[in-house]
């Protein structure tokens, strides 16, 4: 005689990744206004100490699924003069970047992003594509064709809980693809903007 699947699944031990996923869903619910901060604190404490899936399930049952944004991808074409997306902007789930002769630079450090994953397709062409990401974001580049320009990933590769993953595919072309944290000048500029 076997146990009912639902009961045995509920008794399964929860992993750190399971707890992290619930914590992220709770934070998104609070950001959307579906639960208040007091309830968020209570649920976070229960999520972080949960030992089984049965303890985690009730914490998000009344929240419903997380709705991802849909629609057209953000398409950036470097052309002759290049294009930059920086400052405050809303990150869509899919981005397409063509380096052209001027290059493309995407700066995510002040961008609004509630996504867990961002799909990015690049064609770096002659001038390349540069990604500036906050510390804690991770880039997955296994599907990237290195071409002549190659890939320079200057990040640690470690992802902090609740931060997005950039899934970068396409080709590095002749200009290459760079993934890095903000440099000193960019950090200074951001501090000045925040102090205004």
Question: Contact 138/159 with Cβ under 8 angstroms?
Answer: yes
Is 134 a residue whose pLDDT tops 70?
A: yes
| Nearest one of 48, 56, 47, 44 to 10, comparing CA atoms | 56
CB atoms within 10 A of CB 126: 14
pLDDT tens figures, 73-112: 899 999 999 999 998 899 999 999 999 999 999 999 999 8
Q: How far apart are CA 106 and CA 72, in angstroms?
A: 18
Mean pLDDT of the chain: 84
| Predicted local distance difference test score (pLDDT) of residue 19 | 81
pTM over 0.75: no
Structure token digits, residue 137 = 């974001």
| Predicted local distance difference test score (pLDDT) of residue 6 | 39
By DSSP bridging, strand 165-171 and strand 144-145 are parallel
Query: Hey, is 37 helix, strand or coil?
Result: helix
pLDDT band at 47 (very low <50, low <70, confident <90, very high): confident
DSSP state letter for 71: S
pLDDT tens figures, 109-130: 999 888 889 999 999 999 999 9
Enumerate the H helices of the chain as residue ranges.
Answer: 5-11, 16-32, 37-49, 53-60, 184-195
């Amino acid at each position: 005689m076997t146990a009912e699947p639902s009961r045995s699944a509920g008794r399964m031990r929860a992993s750190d990744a399971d707890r992290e996923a619930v914590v992220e869903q709770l934070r998104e619910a609070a950001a959307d206004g579906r639960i208040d901060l007091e309830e968020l604190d209570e649920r976070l404490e229960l999520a972080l100490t949960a030992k089984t899936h049965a303890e985690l399930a009730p914490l998000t049952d009344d929240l419903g699924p997380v709705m991802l944004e849909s629609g057209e991808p953000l398409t950036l074409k470097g052309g002759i003069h290049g294009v930059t997306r920086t400052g405050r902007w809303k990150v869509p789930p899919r981005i397409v970047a063509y380096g052209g002769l001027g290059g493309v630079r995407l700066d995510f450090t002040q961008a609004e992003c509630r996504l867990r994953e961002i799909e990015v397709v690049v064609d770096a062409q002659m001038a390349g594509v540069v990604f500036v990401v906050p510390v804690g974001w991770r880039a997955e580049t296994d599907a990237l064709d290195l071409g002549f320009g190659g890939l320079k990933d200057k990040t640690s590769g470690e992802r902090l809980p609740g931060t997005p993953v950039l899934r970068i595919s396409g080709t590095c072309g002749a200009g290459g693809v760079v993934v890095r944290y903000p440099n000193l000048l960019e950090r200074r500029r951001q501090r000045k903007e925040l102090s205004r």
